[in-house]
């Protein structure tokens, strides 16, 4: 009986945490439609980071992102990721959320020195689809 209670508490906790995420979940065909334009954007960002190509990395940024993530801060981000989590290996989509017309794609990525790096990519829902936010999180990055 005790394992059942633990399982039930775990399920309730997951449901509660999911309900606390901002915006509404995007699933099924709608998620696939979003991923048709966010996946190439994510590819360019991650490839730009790996190769040191700022133009590729920032190609889809809106004006605020371009001002906030200059070439100098790009290099600092590259150095941080390289020293703390290593090189990018792969990613999978964890969830897609619509927050007032901005789409938040949450990835779980694998790096050579970290098996779980959360990448949050915010993109405008309307064309042209531009990056409005980019966040990396992992225990290794917080050390």
What CATH number does the domain containing 84 carry? Answer: 3.10.450.590
**Residue 95 lies in domain:** 24-142
- Residue 1 in domain: no
pTM for the predicted model, two decimal places: 0.84
- Residue 43 in domain: yes
- Residue 88 in domain: yes
Residue 38 pLDDT > 50, yes or no? yes
- On whether the CB atoms of residues 23 and 104 are closer than 8 A, the answer is yes
In the chain, the percentage of residues whose pLDDT exceeds 70 is 85
Residue 28 pLDDT > 60, yes or no? yes
Q: How many domains does the chain have?
A: 1
- Residue 8 in domain: no
> For position 22, what pLDDT does the model report?
66
Task: Write down the H helix ranges in the chain.
Answer: 2-19, 28-51, 54-57, 63-68, 71-84
- Residue 47 in domain: yes
- Residue 16 in domain: no
Banded pLDDT at 143 (limits 50, 70, 90): confident
- Residue 52 in domain: yes
- 100 three-class SS: coil
């Amino acid at each position: 009986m005790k394992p059942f209670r633990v399982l039930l508490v775990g399920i309730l906790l997951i449901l509660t945490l999911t309900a606390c995420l901002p915006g509404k979940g995007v699933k099924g065909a709608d998620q696939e439609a979003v991923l048709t334009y966010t996946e190439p954007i994510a590819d360019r960002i991650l490839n730009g980071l790996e190769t040191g190509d700022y133009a590729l990395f920032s190609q889809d940024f809106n004006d605020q992102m371009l001002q906030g993530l200059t070439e100098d801060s790009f290099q600092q981000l590259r150095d941080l990721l390289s020293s703390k989590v290593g090189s990018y290996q792969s990613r999978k989509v964890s969830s897609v959320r619509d927050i007032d017309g901005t789409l938040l794609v949450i990835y779980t990525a694998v790096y050579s020195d970290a098996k779980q790096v959360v990448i949050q990519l915010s993109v405008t829902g309307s064309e042209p689809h531009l990056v409005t936010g980019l966040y990396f999180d992992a225990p290794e990055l917080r050390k």
